[in-house]
Amino acid sequence: MSKFNFSGLKSNKDTGFGDNFSGRFIDKNGYPNVQKRGVGILNRYSWYHTMLNLPRWQFIALLISGYIVINFIFAMIYFLIGVEHLTGINRSSLMDEFTDVFFFSTQTFTTVGYGRIAPVGFLASLVATFEAFLGLLGFAIATGLFFGRFSRPRAFLKFSDVALISPYKDRSGLMFRMAPFKNTSLTDASITVLASFEITENGETKSSFYNLKLEVTTITSLILNWTIVHYIDEQSPFYGLSSDDLKTIAIEIIVHVKAFDSIFSSDVVQRTSYTSQEIIYGAKFEKMYNPDETNLFTVLHLDKINSYFPASLPDIS
């Protein structure tokens, strides 16, 4: 890092990240790369936020598996109490008995109650009463989580997987791009970008942060793709960076995007980051939109957001 002169650049001390942060600061999904310890697991995690942030398939799988496990547990309780305390059980075999008990549990849990099987006696009725209450509570919670997931405003932005060092104006620029991938309506979008450099001074390794000056920081409507450009001049921390430097220097570009969702009348935020290994030296993005065949619509090709081609950079030495 000795070839880079940061003495004339003002570092940002108000990032929220420490000087000795380990690993990447922000994961690609936008969440901080932090593990919290020192408190119990029940206090360390918000189950509500966890359920809202789970991927869709994990959320559905958790609900289905939880439903099956709960009914299996209650079926075991009824089976241990004795099937003679339930009327209408098919007692041809143990498998038939347990199958009937399991489906009686599902009917009680969902409060369907077809009526062929019914509890007899205080203990079986008490368990059925508690299960019915638990089922009502469980479905109310599941409904609230479904509503929370569907009603929560999100940016729905897709970022390019890589950032590029591309020819720009008379020199070069650091570029990456984003695009909305759903039928949302985002306006007044703004962006801030930080660059973290891991610097060793006096035998101590620290991270220094620099605000990157962008060509455009706000746009009125985020409809098509938005290519973010940082012009690399003498005032840039990337000035003098070569392709070999990207392989040896620990750099992370932290991206924070904020926009207004006019449908929800609410601000939405999304973050991501790029490390040194995700920066391509000497390349340009391909254009990702064009008119359709009838020349009446503009087609945004989201599958081209990562498409780029090699490009020579000007020699400024």
Instruction: Report the predicted TM-score, pTM, of the whole model to 2 decimal places.
Output: 0.80
What tens digit of pLDDT does each residue of 17-76 get?
Answer: 766 666 778 888 888 877 777 888 778 778 888 898 888 999 999 999 999 999 999 999
Confidence of residue 194 (pLDDT cuts 50, 70, 90): very high
Instruction: Tell me how far apart the alpha carbons of residues 201 and 217 are, in angstroms, rounded to a whole number.
Output: 33
Confidence of residue 187 (pLDDT cuts 50, 70, 90): very high
What tens digit of pLDDT does each residue of 221-239 get?
Answer: 999 999 999 999 888 888 8
What tens digit of pLDDT does each residue of 77-122 get?
Answer: 999 998 888 888 888 888 988 999 999 999 999 988 888 888 888 9
According to the model, what pLDDT value does residue 2 have?
40
According to the model, what pLDDT value does residue 315 have?
73
In this model, does residue 15 exceed pLDDT 80? no
In this model, does residue 137 exceed pLDDT 50? yes
What's the token pair of residue 160? Answer: 């390019």
Q: What percent of the chain has pLDDT over 90?
A: 52
8 Å CB contact between 86 and 78:
yes
According to the model, what pLDDT value does residue 86 have?
87
Instruction: Tell me how far apart the alpha carbons of residues 115 and 233 are, in angstroms, rounded to a whole number.
Output: 79
Confidence of residue 286 (pLDDT cuts 50, 70, 90): very high
Question: What value does the mean pLDDT of the chain take?
Answer: 88
According to the model, what pLDDT value does residue 247 have?
80
According to the model, what pLDDT value does residue 285 have?
96
According to the model, what pLDDT value does residue 272 have?
94
Confidence of residue 1 (pLDDT cuts 50, 70, 90): very low
232 CB neighbour count, 10 Å cutoff: 23
**68 or 185: which leads in pLDDT:** 68
Domains delineated in the chain: 54-151 (1.10.287.70), 157-310 (2.60.40.1400)
**3 or 79: which leads in pLDDT:** 79
Residue 190: beta bridge partners?
A: 218, 258
In angstroms, what CA-CA distances link 295 with 241, 288, 308?
Answer: 43, 16, 25
Buried b (16+ CB within 10 A) or exposed e, 52-84: eeeeeeebeeeeeeebeebbeebbebbbebebe
